[in-house]
Amino acid sequence: MKRAKDVDEYIANAPREMQDKLNALRKIIKKAAPEAEEKISYGMPFFNYKGRLIYFALMKNHIGLYIPPPIIEQCKNELKKYVTTKSAIHLPLNDELPVKLINKLVKARIKWNDRTE
């Protein structure tokens, strides 16, 4: 995808069949973190709340959620069915978005950022 100046443009540049899912993900994050500032960083949607909160990006076979450590490690039991790295979760394109899980991850990162401020 070409570089976007904001999240609206990022989603508009995505394939039409993925735009609803990306908009839904954005809405989940905004609901979990209403005070977060939305930007583009490293060419992908980024939410800032007292520091890095969460990024997302559409990839060929998944949507990547990027959450700075240690949140993924703290939630590893709930993430067993997903491919993960130290700071990324791969959400398969054909699966429903795990709303409760995304909400939990965002809220955990908010608490982490509040503590480390």
62 located within any domain? yes
1 located within any domain? no
pLDDT computed for residue 1 by the predictor: 67
Position 95, amino acid: D
14 located within any domain? yes
68 located within any domain? yes
Predicted model pTM? 0.94
pLDDT computed for residue 69 by the predictor: 95
* Domains identified in the chain, total number: 1
Contact 80, 38 (CB under 8 A): no
Domain of 11, CATH number, reads 3.90.1150.200
Contact 41, 54 (CB under 8 A): no
110 located within any domain? yes
* Residues in the chain, pLDDT under 70: 1, 117
2 located within any domain? no
Token pair 């980024």: residue: 46
pLDDT computed for residue 3 by the predictor: 83
pLDDT computed for residue 24 by the predictor: 98
And the tokens for 6?
Answer: 């904001």
Average pLDDT of the chain, as a whole number: 95
Q: Range of 52's domain?
A: 7-116
